[in-house]
Structure 1
């Protein structure tokens, strides 16, 4: 309990974080945190007023236990879980909470820059591969067009030869015998 007994300079920010993390109507999937029962006091006369229901709250985010490293992936995951209303206030509170947990926000920002660079390079590589595939498709289509023209020309010639009557040889015709010529001399 030594951690919780110390004076925390961010106590007000932690309370603000708790207030900011109340569930918005857009996030019904989040469950309320259990609250401690009220302290026993002297009995009082019952009143007719019913207490206003407490708005549900979101559990405080837990930090990953990965050798103390906290990167952009963790920050993205955390931001996905937080309510979307009052985004600037939520981001400010998250940054202060990270700082109080001795997590360097500039390290997260550097990690984000590296991730952006890596994804941009990957997109450029994919774009180049698409260009190469599109060029290959164009070449294949040109080859198909050439083949289609060659098929058509071949069919035309074939049909021409098939449709023309073949000459019938007269069986009574006997060719003259071959006699070699003599040289004068």
Structure 2
């Protein structure tokens, strides 16, 4: 069995025989939608964007790791009790990718790749090439107008497990 535990917006994507299962915790997206919308109205790296982002981040900190908010592991060991967890039989999975949202947005937000394309990059060239692709796409929208976001380039981490 493959056990998984997911917190916040960093997904695990399981690749089976021709299908992909995305396991993620998007509760963070439901928190403070009006402040999120305010941030997304401004181009990144501007004074108005920084001010709106600061208000948003301060408000998020008030609900982080609470029942009214969302859970992240770095801030509280209790967060694991609120994680999404489960098990998948190993014979149903040929590979798994664990990534930060800064990488998964290539599929989920930018819609510039599909999960099969992501796994093809991982199979042929590995996580570093996948992250390079994310950075190339972000560079085409440095002000965040096409894809509103908190910063020009978010954290980008990926691990690839193949068996």
TM-score range normalised by the length of the shorter chain: under 0.3
Higher share of residues assigned helix = 1
Higher share of residues assigned strand = 2
TM-score (norm 2): 0.22
Is the radius of gyration larger for structure 1 or structure 2? Answer: 1
TM-score (norm 1): 0.20
